Chains A and B, each alone.
Chain A
């Protein structure tokens, strides 16, 4: 009898051991954690459509056939290339591919998303109020990482997914761009090396999920040097973002011409950067505190967006505002209407087009305070390999267009180095006036 019982216990223990060892074999795949845009019959339909379109250069001649897959402003812009300083504007259709996230992104999302929730109480801030169920629990102390709501249903959930993107946690890159007056053909060039480091919500580059110590409670720190335009040469910009929504961003600018460090007010983040169609809060789509706005999920739709773009495919002529040569693939985007809580914001309303896999923002439309369509951003994403070897989905470049004044700004992020290690001392005020 004893032997029988011992045998039973032994088999039970072996079974448990076997199961625990095999857990990795049966753990969730990236697609299970972060669902792809298309599966099953939908994917089959897309593949069928691609048979006609992949490899094609879509320009004026066949634009009408894909009208339903591109936003209205983009359609109109491509219909009137001369207005934008171009003989023709075109893009290339490439096949849809799942944006396979890195192991760190999958693990973080799998670990933290099941328990994602919002704070049940309001948070009073100097600029207004964060209502109940708007602020993500665990965000303040950097206790979470990954997409909090991989199967998001509401606008606020989608917005927090967007915020979760850290694009490799640290990066360095050079932004090249032009401010183009499409009517006159006059161009002004910009060249600005950038550095950025996330202190919380880290997924790939140790320490994960946060850097410690972090006594000031940084969410993210950003540093930029202006090389061009020439009269701004040597100007440096530092931005310190906090996890606490009650704390305003601290932004400083070292103006080389005046040799002074100037503090910027938060309202200056609405100002355009060096005369471009981009303001500080528009960088990478939206660069602000999530809780400064309210969000409403509008719709989901298929769109030709740029997700695996190769920057060397960009083309443009002198005087041309938007890029040509963008590689677009059919994907699902979620439209989220963002309304600033600040009544003095320069925008009355913004529509974000969020990629359902990467929660990046390939497209955005913004309306001015008079309710007219004003700025449109068409952003291209790409698939990179970080310096540490893990994959990163990050911005390759973008077009910013002013719908009211017919000028645009094509930009390209060159020499990207995601996953680069930094000494945190770079992101201090004092480093602003060091040699450039």
Chain B
């Protein structure tokens, strides 16, 4: 029934999409205007191909080609003016997005290597809580009030490439990352009620509130074996290459299985508020957000039972076949953020824009790991009639507990247009836009056994510097962008992007993305999390 519903939706979406492509045009090449301009349709279709420059030797047998991603996306945006009176305006805005990923079908080796269930869900927006509705909300504007009800994407931050105070929507990192796409293309919409009140107070204060009634969305991490995910782990039986869940996939699936059911339990509500104002030439915001974590924390005993089960299932030395994974491992805890942002134009020395954001995260839960390799007792458990006796291990993958800690982070970005005469003679006298960002975050009360994503053990603080250089050429027919990210924990990347936009509709983009790390190249583990992501990418887009 659900399959039929999905199929039906696909048909409706495609019909609307094709109609808007070839429907009644108000003017050739324009946004499609219908019903006397009360309904505007706009859309695009694009193809992204990512060509990997390097596949680790251990994975080569699982690929027929170096193509890492072949993603076709159709997007349809609509804006309908439902009511327009003197003091009242009601709009319905929507963005639908449907995609198909082809390389997992075209590359036979990759097709065989991926778990079929996960592969199918990677190909279409059918994973867990995915659906083709990117955003869909009703907007009512009456006097100083603006109320938006529906699925929305919210932007609260100022900095790019990393987020500190932009905490409302989780990200979908399966097909892209901030190096290649802006955050807004990666965010997952949430069903929420969002209200704005424009006051007449000094500073033109704008009050904003958000209430999400239990629409919890898990962060979508890359799928194991795909371009952005961890490389494929060794099979238990290298000859038969029997299919099954893999380590990272297994963990993700258990996160998913134990995630809060969407919109069914009000106790997973989220809410926040923000005040925006302008004072002394500075536009600023203050914000507070209370949310349920996008990723869970594990119960130590059960997490260790899972680790034992995974090690056993994926190695060839266990006496017990198919050790079951326990249930009830994961819990999505609540956390809170207090934050602020600002934007200021400094006219004297810098003659550029300074943007800043600050965030204090209250009560984030972390697991602690067995970094000292002490012997940890793993209690017995049973599942589906299989009983697994108690055991113990010194593995440093085991979990020793859960801690709660606050985090503080800030980001400063400076953007400044500059004049380079030797360049300007070639780019229509356009200015070059230079941007530099510094981001830092600390865990308060950090201990070296805390398991924190994106950091090495013992990293109390993380420091990242990013630079961005952009220039337009031939009256913005061509845009070139160079980005560099340096993470002081010993990794980073560079991206170069070339965009060609002739005329009204076609957009062509080429680019390359190269990672680096201080870790040794000789280790497969290091390789599969950095150099195997190096790539060239190509995008073709048609917009109307």
Q: Which residues of A contact B (CB under 8 A)?
A: 126-127, 179, 181, 184, 186-189, 191, 227-231, 233, 248, 250, 252, 257-268, 270-272, 274-277, 344, 346, 368-370, 374, 402, 405, 407, 425, 428-431, 434-436
Q: CB of B39 within 8 A of chain A?
A: no
Contact mask for chain B residues 256-285; partner A; CB cutoff 8 A; 1 contact, 0 none:
000000000000000000001010010100
Check B345 against A258 for contact (C-beta < 8 Å).
no
Check A402 against B428 for contact (C-beta < 8 Å).
yes
Contact mask for chain B residues 180-212; partner A; CB cutoff 8 A; 1 contact, 0 none:
001110000000000010100000101000000
Partner of A344, one of B154, B419, B430: B419
Residues of B within 8 A of A267 (CB): 351-352, 417, 431
Check B475 against A260 for contact (C-beta < 8 Å).
no
Of all chain B residues, which has the CB nearest A232? B476
Partner of A263, one of B30, B276, B353: B353
Check A434 against B503 for contact (C-beta < 8 Å).
no
Partner of B206, one of A188, A374, A430: A430
Q: A188 vs B424: C-alpha distance in the bound complex, in angstroms?
A: 22
Contact mask for chain B residues 487-530; partner A; CB cutoff 8 A; 1 contact, 0 none:
00000000000000111110100000000000000000000000
Q: CB of B31 within 8 A of chain A?
A: yes
Residues of A within 8 A of B183 (CB): 258
Check A191 against B30 for contact (C-beta < 8 Å).
yes
Q: Given contacts A271-B430, A402-B428, is CB(A435)–CB(B507) below 8 Å?
A: no
Q: A229 vs B141: C-alpha distance in the bound complex, in angstroms?
A: 26
Of all chain A residues, which has the CB nearest B182? A258
Question: Told that A127-B347, A188-B502, A429-B283 touch, could you supply 5 new A-B pairs with CB distance under 8 A?
Answer: A126-B348, A263-B345, A268-B431, A429-B276, A434-B146
Q: CB of B89 within 8 A of chain A?
A: yes
Q: CB of B293 within 8 A of chain A?
A: no
Residues of A within 8 A of B89 (CB): 435
Q: A250 vs B430: C-alpha distance in the bound complex, in angstroms?
A: 21
Residues of A within 8 A of B304 (CB): none
* Beta-carbon contacts under 8 Å, B460-501 to A: 472, 474-477, 501
Check B347 against A435 for contact (C-beta < 8 Å).
no
Q: Given contacts A227-B31, A277-B475, is CB(A265)–CB(B504) below 8 Å?
A: no
Q: A270 vs B204: C-alpha distance in the bound complex, in angstroms?
A: 28
Check A233 against B31 for contact (C-beta < 8 Å).
yes
Residues of A within 8 A of B429 (CB): 346, 368-369, 374
Check A258 against B428 for contact (C-beta < 8 Å).
no
Partner of B475, one of A228, A259, A266, A275: A275
Residues of A within 8 A of B29 (CB): 189
Q: A269 vs B99: C-alpha distance in the bound complex, in angstroms?
A: 39
Q: Can you list 23 A-B pairs, Cβ within 8 angstroms, ordered by A?
A: A126-B347, A126-B348, A184-B502, A188-B477, A188-B503, A227-B31, A228-B504, A248-B345, A248-B347, A258-B155, A263-B355, A265-B417, A275-B472, A276-B475, A346-B431, A369-B421, A369-B429, A370-B425, A374-B429, A425-B198, A430-B204, A434-B141, A435-B139
Q: A231 vs B182: C-alpha distance in the bound complex, in angstroms?
A: 14
Q: A155 vs B355: C-alpha distance in the bound complex, in angstroms?
A: 40
Residues of A within 8 A of B344 (CB): 263
Nearest CB in chain B: distance from A161 CB, A: 28
Of all chain B residues, which has the CB nearest A176? B27
Residues of B within 8 A of A276 (CB): 475
Nearest CB in chain B: distance from A326 CB, A: 23
Nearest CB in chain B: distance from A399 CB, A: 15
Q: A407 vs B415: C-alpha distance in the bound complex, in angstroms?
A: 30
Residues of A within 8 A of B475 (CB): 179, 181, 272, 275-277, 407
* Beta-carbon contacts under 8 Å, B21-68 to A: 29-31, 42, 44
Residues of A within 8 A of B477 (CB): 181, 186, 188, 275
Nearest CB in chain B: distance from A107 CB, A: 32
Check B198 against A229 for contact (C-beta < 8 Å).
no
Q: Given contacts A230-B31, A233-B31, is CB(A430)–CB(B196) below 8 Å?
A: yes
Q: Given contacts A271-B431, A405-B428, is CB(A263)–CB(B283) below 8 Å?
A: yes
Number of A-B contacts (CB under 8 A): 140
Partner of A436, one of B79, B182, B421: B79
Q: CB of B438 within 8 A of chain A?
A: no
Residues of B within 8 A of A259 (CB): 153-155, 184
Interface residues contributed by chain B, number (CB under 8 Å): 62
Residues of A within 8 A of B355 (CB): 263
Residues of B within 8 A of A228 (CB): 30-31, 504
Q: A176 vs B266: C-alpha distance in the bound complex, in angstroms?
A: 49
Q: A244 vs B348: C-alpha distance in the bound complex, in angstroms?
A: 17
Nearest CB in chain B: distance from A246 CB, A: 10
Check B93 against A435 for contact (C-beta < 8 Å).
yes
Residues of B within 8 A of A270 (CB): 431
Residues of A within 8 A of B42 (CB): 230, 233
Q: CB of B543 within 8 A of chain A?
A: yes
Check B182 against A257 for contact (C-beta < 8 Å).
yes
Check B417 against A230 for contact (C-beta < 8 Å).
no
Check A265 against B155 for contact (C-beta < 8 Å).
no
Most B C-beta atoms less than 10 A away, residue of A184, A257, A260, A272:
A260
Residues of B within 8 A of A258 (CB): 155, 182-184
Q: CB of B397 within 8 A of chain A?
A: no
Contact mask for chain B residues 533-544; partner A; CB cutoff 8 A; 1 contact, 0 none:
000000000011
Q: CB of B416 within 8 A of chain A?
A: yes
Residues of B within 8 A of A370 (CB): 421, 425
Nearest CB in chain B: distance from A60 CB, A: 28
Residues of A within 8 A of B177 (CB): none
Q: A184 vs B184: C-alpha distance in the bound complex, in angstroms?
A: 34
Q: A436 vs B139: C-alpha distance in the bound complex, in angstroms?
A: 11
Residues of B within 8 A of A272 (CB): 428, 430, 472, 475-476
Q: CB of B158 within 8 A of chain A?
A: yes
Q: CB of B343 within 8 A of chain A?
A: yes
Residues of A within 8 A of B245 (CB): none
Q: CB of B91 within 8 A of chain A?
A: yes
Nearest CB in chain A: distance from B461 CB, A: 27
Contact mask for chain B residues 341-369; partner A; CB cutoff 8 A; 1 contact, 0 none:
00111011001110100000000000000
Contact mask for chain B residues 303-344; partner A; CB cutoff 8 A; 1 contact, 0 none:
000000000000000000000000000000000000000011
Q: A6 vs B139: C-alpha distance in the bound complex, in angstroms?
A: 77
Check B504 against A188 for contact (C-beta < 8 Å).
yes
Q: A327 vs B347: C-alpha distance in the bound complex, in angstroms?
A: 43
Of all chain B residues, which has the CB nearest A268? B417
Check A265 against B353 for contact (C-beta < 8 Å).
yes
Check B428 against A274 for contact (C-beta < 8 Å).
no
Most A C-beta atoms less than 10 A away, residue of B182, B475, B507:
B475
Residues of B within 8 A of A407 (CB): 475
Nearest CB in chain B: distance from A306 CB, A: 25
Nearest CB in chain A: distance from B86 CB, A: 11
Residues of B within 8 A of A227 (CB): 31
Check A265 against B30 for contact (C-beta < 8 Å).
no
Partner of A274, one of B351, B476, B505: B476
Residues of B within 8 A of A263 (CB): 283, 343-345, 353, 355
